[in-house]
Copies of this chain bind each other. A is one copy, B any other.
């Protein structure tokens, strides 16, 4: 049995909401309440969870800490994931500086660039390496995930090299639709794309 991708894509939302509940000292939660928090129907949540087992108690609901731990294990968030960043321009620097990765177990261990002025620089305790040595560096210290923050023209080539070096997941900040083999995961971070899906609705309301 394999699990629908939409289901997987919702689990991190549940994790996030449950973490907030732990923070607030809440111990049990029903699918009803969790659903309200996230704008999801209770049935959806119960069905999603049912793909992985039985986590609730009838009449009671779910133990927050228990469910959180289970979801973290399911998603593989109970370990560290190592990442390599390619492109240390303005965007790349912002990514390196981002404090949100570490608490969730994501750590950048390589940073590459082509620009000789940037190579050798130290950013947040990482020394920027020449992108030419990408393959050697990843052979020596492998990573799970590649982060691409290079200009659009260079992005596909960088992705091909990351994949060639064994990376099986790409976080793509470049505004291109990357072509990758079926076994490689890609997620795009593109604020412009997000904005462009909203303007359609803004336009509607306006007339």
Which chain A residues have a beta carbon within 8 Å of chain B's beta carbons? 8-9, 11-13, 15-17, 20, 37-39, 74-77, 81, 90-91, 94-95, 97-98, 100-101, 104, 106, 144-145, 168-169, 171, 175-177, 179, 183, 185, 187-189, 191-203, 205
Would you call B177 and A187 a contact (CB within 8 A)? no
Would you call A187 and B183 a contact (CB within 8 A)? no
Knowing A104-B196, A177-B16, A197-B8, the reply to whether A191 touches B203 (Cβ < 8 A) is no
Please state the number of chain copies in the assembly: 2
Interface of A is mostly: helix
Would you call A192 and B77 a contact (CB within 8 A)? no
Would you call A168 and B205 a contact (CB within 8 A)? yes
A131 to chain B minimum Cβ distance, whole angstroms, is 21
Choose from B90, B189, B202 the contact partner of A81 (Cβ within 8 Å): B202
Which residues of chain B are near A144, meaning CB under 8 Å?
Answer: 199, 202
